[in-house]
Amino acid sequence: MSANRSVTWLGLAFKFLKSAKVIKVALAGMALSGWTVMYSFEFAVVLIGTLVFHEYGHLHAMQRFGIKTRGMYLIPFFGGVAVGEKAQTHWQDVYISMMGPVFGLGMSAAFYVAYRLTGNHFVGLVASISALINLFNLLPIHPLDGGRIAKGLVFSGNSYWGFVIMLALSAAGFALALHLGLAFLCFFMVLGALDLVFSWQIFATDTKPKLDRYGILFSLAWYLTTTAIFVALIMAIAASALPGSEVAIRVLES
């Protein structure tokens, strides 16, 4: 009787540990603890809030397309990830990838407005950190959101001209970032260009429905505008001489 009861309890414990919710909570706890040790409890809470808001944007976009989702997971010392089935078209890829930063932009802008109205130091830092994290996700390298967007646009071009145009835009972005002294962005622009070049063989076997010309131009404008707003937010907050906000600028210039 005792042995059977032990087996029952072991089975329940195993099912409990396999539960996705338990894994999510455990990862979130590890992330909170790790970032608290590395930085501070306040910073860890802000970071987790920013990541959750960003990943919820991806999940919301997946659900709009009827794509099955499995929720979001916080990865200690790394970031977060929204888990779901694969997108069926390149437009879905672009839209889902963009909606994480778009939700992040809403959060960053709201905190920036609140900072301008109140002058609160903590609120201003939240806006700066949120903008930096979402800007990082827009860098055009896989597996970041920007990398998925870049490939969706290039693969929709349906010819080598798509690669040529995207590489030319990468060169223009590199020159602009270099002019502004944003070495961090310059470095990742180069990585993004290399990632596109190495994707050439995948292009030949791609079968996903592609964006039309309007879709490509709209998505490219959406991506560039969102990226520019994040950079502008970071620079505006740093220009206000808010203590601590210079960290974001130093990251971009590093």
- Provide the residue ranges of all domains of the chain, joining segments of one domain with +: 1-86, 87-254
Q: Rounded mean pLDDT of 225-254?
A: 80
- Nearest Cα neighbor of 136 from 40, 38, 13, 231 is 231
Q: How many residues are given for the chain?
A: 254
pLDDT reported for residue 11: 44
As a whole number, mean pLDDT of residues 220-233 equals 93
Least confident of 58-62, 114-118, 141-145, 232-236: 141-145
Residue with tokens 């200690």: 76
Give Cβ neighbours of residue 30 (< 8 Å, ≥ 6 apart). 76
Q: Which pLDDT band, with edges at 50, 70 and 90, does 104 fall under?
A: very high
Token digits for 107?
């959060």
Share of the chain above pLDDT 90, in %: 23
Identify which has the larger pLDDT, 71 or 54: 54
Please name the residue ranges forming H helices in the chain: 2-18, 20-38, 41-64, 90-118, 121-137, 145-156, 160-179, 183-198, 200-204, 213-239, 246-253
Burial letters for 208-236: b for 16+ Cβ neighbours within 10 Å, e otherwise?
A: bebbeeebbeebbebbeebbebbbebbbb
**In the prediction, which pLDDT does 15 show?**
45
Q: Indicate the pLDDT class of residue 3, thresholds 50, 70 and 90.
A: very low
Q: How many CA within 13 A on the CB side of residue 196?
A: 30
Mean pLDDT of 4-16: 42
pLDDT, tens only, 111-168: 999 999 998 888 888 888 889 889 888 887 766 898 888 888 877 766 566 667 767 7
Tell me: the pLDDT tens digits for 164-205?
Answer: 776 777 777 778 777 777 676 677 777 777 776 776 666 667
The more confidently predicted of residues 250 and 148 is: 148
d(CA 148, CA 94): 7
Burial of 61 (0-12, 13-18, 19+ CB in 10 A): buried
The per-residue pLDDT of the chain, averaged, comes to 76
What is the C-alpha to C-alpha distance for residues 186 and 188, in angstroms, rounded to an integer?
A: 6
Beta bridge partners of 73: 81
Determine the Cα–Cα distance for residues 220 and 199; give it in Å rounded to an integer: 19
pLDDT at residue 74 greater than cutoff 90: no
Q: Give the distance between the most distant pair of CA atoms in the chain.
A: 76
Rounded CA-CA distance 44/32 in Å is: 6
How many whole angstroms separate alpha carbon 107 and alpha carbon 46? 11
